[in-house]
């Protein structure tokens, strides 16, 4: 978090050849929105780009909810006792299908203070399930992603993520800037290429390939 927002915006302007301070194509008030959008896109794509670790009280039952403000649960590594200060039994991630097959009645199993497994569903990233169901007295260590405080001014302060995500932010912000010119073919194509490069920078080649393929298909045709 040592890259200043001024430096970040300057890098984007260099990339877009938008260097005339008296006649900027993209104003700073636009960059405020797009920096926040870039941070959100990075964390949603790579949840461990911004995370926290806390002790969290379990609710009674198998279904659990992430702490307020969480975007997605990353890991539930161990029990933390009733007071949340004593690391206890390790908790392993397990596939729901495996548990369903071996023990179909597990959601209604006897409740316990300590849990053995946790189940993640990417379609509901702010909820998770535990086995055995909790009796509501225990706590666990939980790691989850969250958004940092929103940027309100790009002329002061630092980029809110670590420096390893600055390149990705530059690419995403350039994508949003160029999308402003999407009514013109060159702007639309450049915007698309910046978005593909953004996902490549984050190691999500699947998403980069998907965007490339979808945009390579002429309108009205389906992919074979």
pLDDT tens, position by position, 124-147 = 999 999 999 999 999 999 999 999
- pLDDT one-digit tens code per residue, 78-105: 999 999 999 999 999 999 999 999 999 9
The domains of the chain are located at 5-48+150-216, 51-146
Of 70-74, 103-107, 203-207, which gets the smallest average pLDDT?
203-207
Please compute, for residue 31, the number of CA atoms within 13 A of its CA located in the half-sphere on the CB side. Answer: 24
Longest pairwise C-alpha distance within the chain: 70
Residue 48 φ/ψ, nearest 5 degrees = -80, 5
142 CB-near residues (< 8 Å, 6+ apart): 53, 54, 55, 56, 66, 67, 73, 75, 76
pTM: predicted TM-score of the whole model, two decimal places: 0.87
Residue 28 gets which letter from DSSP?
A: H
With helix as H, strand as E and coil as C, how does 154-169 read? CCCCECCCCHHHHHHH
> Tens digits of per-residue pLDDT, 161-175?
999 999 999 999 999
Q: Which helix (H) or strand (E) holds 193?
A: helix 185-201
Instruction: Find the mean pLDDT for residues 207-212.
Output: 85
146: nearest Cα among 48, 223, 60, 57: 48
**61: which 2 tokens?**
């039952």
Strand-pair partners of 55: 141
Q: What mean pLDDT comes out for the span 63-82?
A: 96
How high is the mean pLDDT of the chain?
Answer: 91
Torsional sign, CA 67, 73, 74, 78: positive
The H or E element spanning position 63 is strand 61-65
Average pLDDT over residues 204-213: 86
Taking only the tens place, the pLDDT of each residue in 21-58 is 778 888 899 999 999 999 999 999 999 999 999 999 99
pLDDT at 216 (0 to 100): 59
State the pLDDT at residue 219.
Answer: 43
Q: Could you tell me the pLDDT band of residue 208, with boundaries at 50, 70 and 90?
A: confident
**Residues 6 or more apart whose Cβ sits within 8 Å of residue 102:** none
């Amino acid at each position: 978090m040592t890259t200043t927002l001024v430096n970040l915006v300057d890098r984007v302007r260099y990339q877009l050849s938008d260097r005339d301070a008296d006649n900027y194509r993209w104003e700073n008030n636009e960059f405020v929105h797009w920096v926040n959008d870039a941070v959100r896109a990075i964390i949603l794509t790579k949840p461990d780009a911004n995370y926290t670790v806390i002790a969290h009280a379990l609710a009674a039952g198998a279904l659990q909810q992430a702490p307020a403000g969480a975007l997605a649960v990353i890991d539930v590594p161990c029990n933390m006792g009733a007071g949340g200060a004593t690391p206890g039994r390790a908790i392993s991630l397990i596939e729901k299908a495996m548990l369903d097959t071996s023990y179909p009645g597990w959601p209604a199993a006897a409740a316990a203070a300590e849990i053995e497994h946790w189940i993640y569903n990417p379609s509901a990233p702010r909820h998770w399930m535990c086995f055995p169901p909790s009796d509501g007295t225990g706590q666990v260590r939980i790691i989850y992603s969250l958004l940092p405080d929103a940027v309100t001014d790009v002329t002061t302060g630092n980029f809110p993520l670590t420096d390893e995500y600055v390149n990705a932010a530059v690419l995403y912000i350039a994508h949003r800037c160029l999308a402003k010119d999407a009514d013109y073919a060159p702007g639309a194509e450049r915007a698309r290429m910046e978005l593909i490069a953004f996902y490549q920078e984050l190691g999500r080649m699947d998403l980069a390939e998907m965007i490339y393929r979808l945009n390579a298909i002429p309108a009205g045709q389906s992919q074979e």
